[in-house]
């Protein structure tokens, strides 16, 4: 008799191999908590890539290094000739490179801000869940196993954002 095929598990394994990620990496694990995913992000790598992009964009349109040979001098002369022919285009490429590098740096900063906001939201939700669980299962139940007083439970929980609290 054949066993059922877990397509989700197979696809997760394929994605991990394609991305070069080790098995069980929280970035590809569907059951991973948001806090585990947030802590697995390598911000220094993204920041280093932004610096490399910024540094390399400065070299666009400049002459490459050349050897002190006849071939090097002829190549330099040809590069200068092409550069003069494309003088109007080189500045546009340089501007595009600079803007792209700056945009990448801004995207990294935005991602970091979103990650901080998400981490704060996750912490707030975990705190709210703990408060709710304590209110439902805590010492508020009566001696004979009675259910807790609804007003006591209602007072233990903070009001939902944007809601109006009315007491009767």
In the block, residue with structure tokens 């590809």: 28
Domain borders along the chain are 32-61+87-134
- In angstroms, the CA 38 to CA 19 distance is 18
Q: How far is CA 80 from CA 50, 77, 88, 93, in A?
A: 30, 5, 14, 17
Q: What is the pLDDT of residues 60-109, one digit of tens each?
A: 777 777 778 888 888 888 888 888 888 788 888 888 988 999 999 999 99
pTM: 0.51
pLDDT tens figures, 97-132: 889 999 999 999 998 888 888 888 888 888 998 898
């Amino acid at each position: 008799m054949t066993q059922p095929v877990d397509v989700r598990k197979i696809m997760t394994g394929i994605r991990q191999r394609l991305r070069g990620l080790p098995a069980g990496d929280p970035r590809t694990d569907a059951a991973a908590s948001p806090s585990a995913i947030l802590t697995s992000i390598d911000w220094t790598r993204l920041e280093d890539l932004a610096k490399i992009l910024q540094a390399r964009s400065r070299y666009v349109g400049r002459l490459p290094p050349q050897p002190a040979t006849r071939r090097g001098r002829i190549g330099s002369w040809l590069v200068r000739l092409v550069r003069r022919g494309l003088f109007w285009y080189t500045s546009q490429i340089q501007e595009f490179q600079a803007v792209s590098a700056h945009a990448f740096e801004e995207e990294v900063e935005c991602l970091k801000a979103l990650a901080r906001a998400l981490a704060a939201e996750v912490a707030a939700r975990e705190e709210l869940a703990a408060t709710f669980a304590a209110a439902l299962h805590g010492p508020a139940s009566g001696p004979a196993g009675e259910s807790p007083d609804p007003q006591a439970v209602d007072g233990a929980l903070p009001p939902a954002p944007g809601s109006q609290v009315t007491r009767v």
